Each structure stands twice: as structure tokens, then as C-alpha cells.
Structure 1
Amino acid sequence: MADTLKILFVCTGNTCRSVMAQGLFEKMWNDLPDNKMAVKAYSAGVAAIDGLSASQEALEILRSEGVDLSGHCSQRVTNELIEKADYIFTMTQGHKETLLNLYPGAKEKVWHLLEYAGINGSGIADPYSLGQETYRMVAEQIKEALQKIIVLLKNKSPSVDEV
């Protein structure tokens, strides 16, 4: 197996959207047949308070998908996280712009999630405090984008002959 592909998901507080994207991405990727590359997804927030748990609604969505991130602790985006990521997917255009202002050297690997997936839209809305149904809708929007992104990334994975 080749080196691990490292994916960073970024939102505001790192307790809802980026956490769901992290868990859903790893599950969806690892459920693919004939994977030739390992992935490590992680998440952070542009305005996160370090050490908070994920929202209960996000954890419930993830549990329903077979993902346990109950030990998640929020973290703010750092230079170290930016440098180690191969791809950085933000939940909104505003998050992308914030990252590019703070880390202009990361321009080639920072993408708005919907942009990379080829989906029109201004971003993944923040479901914080809007109830479980809103979280469910946001999770579905994230999954739709991730399905497209996984196809794109899988096509970029090295073949067995290249490993």
C-alpha cells in the first residue's frame, strides 16, 4: 500500500460539519473495494476552541453511519495541520478565503468542498443548534459531495504497479 493520503476538513468550530465530513469520508473511502491507498482524515476549525467534543447531533449522525468519533476534541487550524495535509476541504468559500489569507502557500491544496466536487452552491450550512433534522440534511449534502470527491481522488491513486 502506498503512503497515506491525508485529508483535512475545515469549518468554523470543528464540532459539527468538519467532524461529520471527517468521519463520513474515512468510512466511505474504507468501504470502497480494491483500495490501493490508505487515507487519514482529520478536521479543524478556523475559530475553534481547542478540546471541545463534537456536538451530540453530529455524533448521532455518525453513529447511524457506523462511525464512532465520540473521542473527538476540537482543534484550531495550525500551520502544522496545513503542511501535513495533501488536500484541504473547507465547508464554505469564507473558510477557504480565511485559510488562503493565513496560509497563502497552501493555495494548491485548499478547496471549497462543493467546488472540488463540481457542485454549485455557496457552501455547507452550519447546522449548529438547528436540530437533528438540519444535521441530517447537512450530512446528506456532505455525503453527496464526498461521493464525487472520492471518485476523483480514487482516480488519482497510484495503481498497484506504481506502489
Structure 2
Amino acid sequence: MTALPTVHASDTDPEELITVPRPETRPAAHRLPWATATEPAEPARADGPFEIVVVCRANEARSPLIERLLGAELERLAPGDFRVTSCGTRARVGAGAAHGTLELLRSHGIDAADHRARQLTPAELDDVDLVVTAERSHSDRVLDLAPGLLKRTFTFLELAGLAVHAETGALEGRAFVERAAALRAGLADVDGHRADLDDPVSTVPGAFELLDLRTQDAVFVIARALAGSS
């Protein structure tokens, strides 16, 4: 089985590059939820902006960063065609973005001072076309609330790898998501830790800089795949 490629952000140490899930043999009990789930899919909307929800734990560091960077790139590529929001599985509702996230976004010319953390609820997942999560555990929570989103829920790094691997060409939006889900179905056994984007809060020095490094190229390839840009 062919492994998904690594998306390089720079010539730094390989462990600090954006990585994507790779197949491996493991018991079914340890597979990610999409390997065994059988719930019927919720129908995707055929009109209106393409709705994306980004999910992390607190909705203060990773998901606001991805939300604003991905939203800005999609708006540049396809003005008005996409709407990106974010929420957290254990949000401190109303809290602002983490200082490190605000600083990273400012370095990209984006002001996120107005960000306020929101809690992940079933209502946040209504009419959504794509859910992007920071970690597999966040995907699990999304699917607990909305099992029908199985084929539209991906970790951020996983989706970036699929975008590179899919060779989608003229596909865009919902067609790209369908292609990514079909491709993932052939890679049911996943080396899970490579799918997670580590929480930079209260971790090692330089964690936010590493988060930025791992995020930039992934945002670029995901946005171009969604917008149908070559």
C-alpha cells in the first residue's frame, strides 16, 4: 500500500515537518472511527458558501490559527465562496485567542483580537461541508455529535496529505472532499500520532513557532485543493 507523502514546510529536521497519516497494521479496535463506522452520511448542501468548521480543544490556539489562515487564503483564491469558523471540544466560552496565536496571525497580517472561543455543539455542525480537527480525539467528538459527518471530518494534517496525494485537478469544494474521503477509505489503518497537530499551550519553548511552521504549507495545499486551483 502506498504511503501518503510528507508535506515539507522547510529544510528543517524531518520530525518538524508537516506529516500525514501512514498505513500500518493494527487491531481493528485501535483504528480511527472512519475505519469501522457505518452511520448513514448526512447530505451535503448544494448551494450557498462552502461551510468549514475547525475544531481543537479550547478554541484558543490551534483552531483560531487555522480558521483565520485558511479563511484568508480561501478568500484570496475564491472570494465569497467559503465560510470558515472554529470551536472547541472543551472551550472556555468567550475567551480570546492565545497570545502566541495572536502574535503568529499578526505576523501574517491578520488581526484576530475579536476571536472568542465557542463550544462545539450539534448546532455548530448543522449544514457543514467540512470539519477539520487538530487531533484524532477531536474528530471522535465531532462524530459522537454528528455520525453522519464521517466522510467530511478529517484531521488538519491528514487532509493536507490527502490534498497532495489526491491529484484532484479541476475538483473543488465538495467534489474534493468526496475524493479525499474515497482515498482515505483505502488507507483505513493509520499511524495516528502523525495525524495530530500538537497543542502549543504549556509545552516546550518554540511550540508556537513550530505550530506556525507545520500550519503554513498545509493551509496552502488545502486551500488550493478546495478552491480548485492547480
Return the TM-score normalized by structure 2.
Answer: 0.61
- Give the 3 Å change call, closer, same or farther, for CA 19–36 of structure 1 in structure 2: closer
1:14-163 equivalence runs, <5 A:
14-32=59-77, 35=78, 38-118=81-161, 121-130=194-203, 133-155=206-228
- On the 8 A contact 2:121/2:145 being kept in 1, the answer is no
| Partner residue, 1:8 | 53
C-alpha distance in structure 2 between counterparts of 1:66 and 1:124, whole Å: 23
The alpha carbon displacement at 1:37 in A equals: 5.0
Whether the 8 Å contact between 2:133 and 2:153 is mirrored in structure 1 is: yes
Structure 1 residue aligned with 2:12: none
Aligned length: 153
Q: Which runs of 4+ in 1 moved over 4 A?
A: none
What residue ranges of structure 2 are gaps of 5+ in the alignment? 1-46, 163-190
Displacement of 1:79 in angstroms is: 1.1
User: Which structure is larger by alpha-carbon Rg, 1 or 2?
Assistant: 2
User: CA–CA distance in 2 between the matches of 1:117 and 1:142?
Assistant: 10
Shift of 1:40: 1.4
Give the drift of 1:70: 0.3
* Rounded Cα–Cα distance in structure 1 between residues aligned with 2:144 and 2:137: 11
Q: CA deviation at 1:131?
A: 6.6
2:180 corresponds in structure 1 to: none
Deviation of residue 47 (structure 1)? 0.9
Deviation, 1:124, is: 0.5
Percent identical residues: 25
CA RMSD across the alignment = 2.0
Kindly provide the amino acid, as one letter, of the partner of residue 15 in structure 1.
E
Which structure 1 residue ranges, 5 or more long, are not aligned?
157-163
